Amino acid sequence: MASEQRFDQRLAWRSENLRFNAFGAALKRKFGGRIQRVSIDAGFTCPNVDGAVARGGCNFCDNRSFSPSRRVRLKQVNEQLTRGIASVTERYSKVAGFIAYFQPATNTYAPVDQLEELFELALSLDDRVVGLAVGTRPDCVPDSVLDLLEHFAKTANVSLEFGMQTIHQAGLDWMNRAHDHASMVNAIDRSRGRGFECCGHVILGIPGETHTMMMQTAQEVGRLGLDAIKLHNLYAVEGTPLGDQVIAGEIEWMGKDEYIHTVVDFLERIPPETIVERISGEAPPSYLIEPRWCLEKSSIRLGIEQEFAARGTRQGDRFVPPEVAPADRPRPSDTTPESIRHQIDQRRRLPVLKMEG
């Protein structure tokens, strides 16, 4: 009965004249009012930067600030959240609650006792903090981390966000992700059914990826049973290897109209219950190099809604259920690389998050 109720709730958008299962509306339905995310930089680094799996990081990621010598103290985390809540409250008169969003870098890349201290702090700071969102890589969630998130999910809304980006190895290699899609499948199959939501980030417009390949990634969203997705167009910011390639004229971009059509094609192929948390890139305007159209967020959203209306379709209309339902997929053994496991489970203190004395 409980799962039927959850299913119905996740399809409620269809009776609200919406074309897709938009995040803001889903949160409002769940919490009875506006919920805002407050981004927190807790000073993590990334195994794709510090050498645990590779160095240099993803080609689109501005990871210059992920220095292992940087110290972010719990007090600073506390201050970021307090400041963020104050600034949102000033901007919007009616906010029902906040989600502490651990956003930059790999936010599960620290010993579990440090993660516990950090997440506990965020959840207990203010009664209006209703949950956590934790951004990470698919190869950086050993079972010990998932057990911890399962614990917090008993009393709070917890979302684990994975950088999936694409299912195709050529694209993952081009981005220098330093993990394969099998890591994503392993992570999701171990995360499912633990009470927290699993969200996958996907990039559309990776050079060399055809429309068919992007639609294969869309199908995988349903096969894996992701609870939510964030769609981004590929974009380049200053200070990244991708930015250098753009300046050298080596990258061909998807145009805005093509992006809008591709997003609609993508959303038609994912399950109707998947929450769509984002439909375009969130580029910082002052660092963005290309494509400049991704700053036109309202017009992109309008374009997507108009395209759905013109087709007379909505999210999920072309979804083909997988042969094995996600809930019936067996939970595999943990394939977290030893180099990452060592940092998380065995090393006692990482230099990335210094506790208050």
Residue 139 CB, nearest approach to ligand SF4 (Å): 9
Q: Is 137 in the site for ligand SF4 (CB under 6 A)?
A: yes
Interstrand relation of 236-237 and 288-290 (parallel, antiparallel or unpaired): antiparallel
Name the minimum Å distance from CB 178 to ligand SF4.
8
- Closest separation between CB of residue 53 and ligand SF4, Å? 9
Element housing 353 (H / E): strand 353-354
Which helix (H) or strand (E) covers residue 7, if one does?
helix 2-10
Q: Give the whole-angstrom CA distance, residue 213 versus residue 62.
A: 26
Reading the block at residue 77, the tokens are 């985390």
**48 interacts with ligand SF4 by CB under 6 A:** yes
Among the listed residues 257, 254, 278, the one whose alpha carbon sits nearest the alpha carbon of residue 267: 278
Q: Of the listed pieces 43-51, 146-154, 213-221, 231-239, which binds ligand SF4 according to CB under 6 A? A: 43-51
Q: Which is nearer to ligand SF4, 142 or 163 (CB)?
A: 163
Q: Which is nearer to ligand SF4, 106 or 217 (CB)?
A: 106
The answer to whether the beta carbons of residues 186 and 164 sit under 8 Å apart is: no
Shortest CB 149 distance to ligand SF4, Å:
18
Task: Give the tokens for residue 354.
Answer: 């210094």
Residue 239: strand, helix, or coil:
coil
Which of these ranges, 56-64, 111-119, 122-130, 253-261, lies near ligand SF4 under the rule CB under 6 A? 56-64
Q: In the window 172-231, what residues touch ligand SF4 (CB under 6 A)?
A: none
Q: Is 156 helix (H, G, I), strand (E, B) or coil?
A: coil
Asked if residue 144 lies in contact with residue 345, where contact means CB atoms within 8 angstroms, the answer is: yes
Q: Are 223 and 326 in contact (CB under 8 A)?
A: yes
46 binds ligand SF4 (CB under 6 A): yes
Q: How far apart are CA 23 and CA 199, in angstroms?
A: 12
Pick out residues in 84-123 that bind ligand SF4 (CB under 6 A).
105-106
Nearer to ligand SF4, 37 or 137 (CB): 137
User: Residue type for 272, please?
Assistant: P
Q: How far apart are CA 201 and CA 161, in angstroms?
A: 7
Distances (CA, A) of 213 to 170, 203, 224, 283, 324: 11, 12, 17, 24, 21
Residue 81 contacts ligand SF4 per CB under 6 A = no
Compare residues 106 and 157 and give the one whose CB is closer to ligand SF4. Answer: 106
Q: Looking up tokens 């997507």, which residue turns up?
A: 304
Q: Which of 49, 52, 294, 350 binds ligand SF4 (CB under 6 A)?
A: 49
User: Is the Cβ of residue 85 or residue 204 nearer to ligand SF4 in the bound state?
Assistant: 204
Tell me: does residue 283 bind ligand SF4 (CB under 6 A).
no
Q: Which is nearer to ligand SF4, 282 or 296 (CB)?
A: 282
Single residue of 22, 26, 27, 61 touching ligand SF4 by CB under 6 A? 61
Looking at the Cβ atoms of 84 and 163, the one nearer to ligand SF4 is: 163
**Could you list the residues that contact ligand SF4 (CB under 6 A)?**
46, 48-49, 57-58, 61, 63, 105-106, 137, 163
